[in-house]
Amino acid sequence: MALSANGVIENPKGIPDWLSQEYMQGFMKICQQTKAVIMGKKTYKILAPDFLPLKEDGTTIVLTNDTEALPPNPTVVFTNKKPIEIISQLEKKDHTAGVIIGGSRTASEFMQAGVVDDVYFVVEPIFFGNGLPIFKDAEFEYKLNLLEVLKLNSNTIQLHYAIHK
Ligand SMILES: NC(=O)c1ccc[n+]([C@@H]2O[C@H](COP(=O)([O-])OP(=O)(O)OC[C@H]3O[C@@H](n4cnc5c(N)ncnc54)[C@H](OP(=O)(O)O)[C@@H]3O)[C@@H](O)[C@H]2O)c1
């Protein structure tokens, strides 16, 4: 996920004009590698249909209470299942890894459920005085192992952490 330097994941305008090209490339790459992408309905509504990272292949899991709604194609699943159930659903489809792309509510729920092994944060060179934090209203505390720091361009870094369990 992309963060401002003060941990916010959307700007007050709701326009992703603060995200670097390098972030977008890394985002697409990890989605293509795992072929299993998990997101909340709010994020889905922003991305679909043109900017969804997986179009016709892989599995796109969308958390929503509106499970009656019909997904546009069979690779998209609308679900209100718990994180642990979603993971076994992905395993049944032979996925060995999945990437949670946001937003805050979805990332917080998966973190709280204790099912996240690795985190990639791309820190963009900007502060927002307001906006949605990466995690919110969740009960957890994890210690992290810093695996890698990558400078993606002159102002943007990528942090790769493993979560201590
Ligand atoms: N910077 C980044 O990397 C990044 C990445 C992704 C998103 N974002 C930003 O994050 C914002 C959206 O984040 P958000 O936290 O507001 O929303 P979100 O996590 O994208 O979606 C929340 C929605 O997901 C559904 N949901 C979540 N947990 C559920 C559960 N356990 N059971 C059933 N449904 C569940 C609900 O949908 P229903 O209302 O349909 O029930 C809920 O309203 C956007 O502004 C987006 O731009 C930033």
pLDDT value of residue 23: 98
Beta carbons within 8 Å of 96's beta carbon, 6+ residues apart: none
Q: CA 49, CA 54: separation in Å to the nearest integer?
A: 10
Distance 77 CA to ligand 1 centre (A): 15
Nearest ligand 1 atom to the CA of 122 is 3
Domain segments of the chain as ranges: 2-7+35-156
Q: Which residue has the tokens 């996925």?
A: 95
Q: CA 11, CA 15: separation in Å to the nearest integer?
A: 7
Residue 89 structure tokens: 């659903």
Distance 149 CA to ligand 1 centre (A): 27
Mean pLDDT of the chain: 97
Residue 12: pLDDT over 90:
no
Q: Which residue has the least CA distance to atom 7 on ligand 1?
A: 103
Q: What is the pLDDT of residues 33-42, one digit of tens each?
A: 999 999 999 9
Distance 137 CA to ligand 1 centre (A): 13
Residue 44 structure tokens: 């889905």
Residue 150: which H helix or E strand, with range? strand 144-151
Triad 129, 7, 46: Cα angle to 5°: 85
Q: What is the pLDDT of residues 98-107, one digit of tens each?
A: 999 999 999 9
pTM for the structure as a whole: 0.97
Ligand 1 site residues, Cβ closer than 6 angstroms: 1-2, 9-10, 14, 39-43, 46, 63-66, 80, 101-106, 109, 132
Nearest ligand 1 atom to the CA of 107 is 19
Q: CA 136, CA 81: separation in Å to the nearest integer?
A: 20
Q: What is the pLDDT of residues 64-94, one digit of tens each?
A: 999 999 999 999 999 999 999 999 999 999 9
Superfamily name with CATH number, domain 2-7+35-156: Dihydrofolate Reductase, subunit A (3.40.430.10)
